[in-house]
Structure 1
């Protein structure tokens, strides 16, 4: 994806997601933040990762899917865009598709996340790291965004420092 594939609104909403991800790190959670934007450009719902309480399904993208199913019509859901600091995991991709949400724009990809975690020595999680298009091939996606992905990486490194000693990059 090229920089030109993202407009100013996309970047503004992704920066909001990164701020939510930073808030998640400050609260002891993993750095993920997401916003749901309707077809008129209004933010309808936003959330951050909340898994530190023990419920591993408390992803912001999953919360968006639940909120949208309860509060928006099928046409409103299809016309909405979900912005997120990191590409949806398989659980969130499935929820997104099942409730009929529209486009997804992410600052960093699942492949980047997997590579960063491997570099940091963090073991893979219990779910295969499938891309959105592998789980829900009909959803239009855009990402990662050069520059913003570096900001997300820094948040992941900060979060990982809480749990393990880090090797310097490149070692």
Structure 2
């Protein structure tokens, strides 16, 4: 169930995704928010250097494991511009982070990439709940779809 702050944090994720594109990276941005509503960590995709594991959701999982107690992690929410890939979903599950709120789904991304005649991901596209059974998720948010699709177009045309 979404709360009044979800859209604020999702909009920040979209801003971070735009920053990613501006720095030559695919358009993904994520924010970690604790149970009190404080932003604890934020990042965007950093794969342009050649390390395709430099996803913001994976960075959040590593940061949370090092800086938050298990109880704090379970009560936190991860906001992200795009639904977690299987690698990031697994990292999220392994460190015990709470709810995931994503602006666009993996299913949407696959469709957009096909429309753009872009190469598909080398990793299978799976819903978060397939990788982390029982994970609480909310998304996608249709009001952000066009903006995110445009960021993917911009990245692929650069």
TM-score range, shorter chain: over 0.9
Provide the residue aligned with 2:101 in structure 1.
105
With the length of structure 1 as denominator, give the TM-score of the two structures: 0.91
Provide the C-alpha distance between the structure 1 equivalents of 2:122 and 2:150, rounded to a whole number of angstroms: 23
Bigger Cα Rg:
1
Per-residue deviation, residues 47-106 of structure 1 (Å, max 9, x unmatched)? 000000000000000000000000000000000000000000000000000000000000
Q: CA deviation at 1:8?
A: 2.5
Match of 2:55 among 59, 79, 83: 59
- Which runs of structure 1 show a deviation greater than 4 angstroms over 4 or more consecutive aligned residues? none
Q: CA deviation at 1:7?
A: 2.8
Within 5 A, what are the aligned runs for 1:63-142?
Answer: 63-142=59-138
Provide the C-alpha distance between the structure 1 equivalents of 2:152 and 2:123, rounded to a whole number of angstroms: 19
Q: CA deviation at 1:35?
A: 0.3
Q: CA deviation at 1:149?
A: 1.7
Q: CA deviation at 1:118?
A: 0.5
Provide the C-alpha distance between the structure 2 equivalents of 1:119 and 1:146, rounded to a whole number of angstroms: 18
Q: CA deviation at 1:42?
A: 0.3
Q: CA deviation at 1:138?
A: 1.9
The unaligned stretches of length 5 or more in structure 2 are: none
The alignment status of 1:161 with 2:143, answered yes or no, reads no
With the length of structure 2 as denominator, give the TM-score of the two structures: 0.98
The alignment status of 1:145 with 2:145, answered yes or no, reads no
Provide the C-alpha distance between the structure 2 equivalents of 1:14 and 1:137, rounded to a whole number of angstroms: 23
The unaligned stretches of length 5 or more in structure 1 are: 163-171
Q: CA deviation at 1:29?
A: 0.2
* Higher mean C-alpha deviation, range 112-121 or range 153-162: 153-162
* Higher mean C-alpha deviation, range 144-153 or range 81-90: 144-153
Report the RMSD for the aligned CA atoms in angstroms. 0.8
Q: Number of paired residues?
A: 158
Provide the C-alpha distance between the structure 2 equivalents of 1:152 and 1:8, rounded to a whole number of angstroms: 21
Match of 1:45 among 26, 41, 46: 41
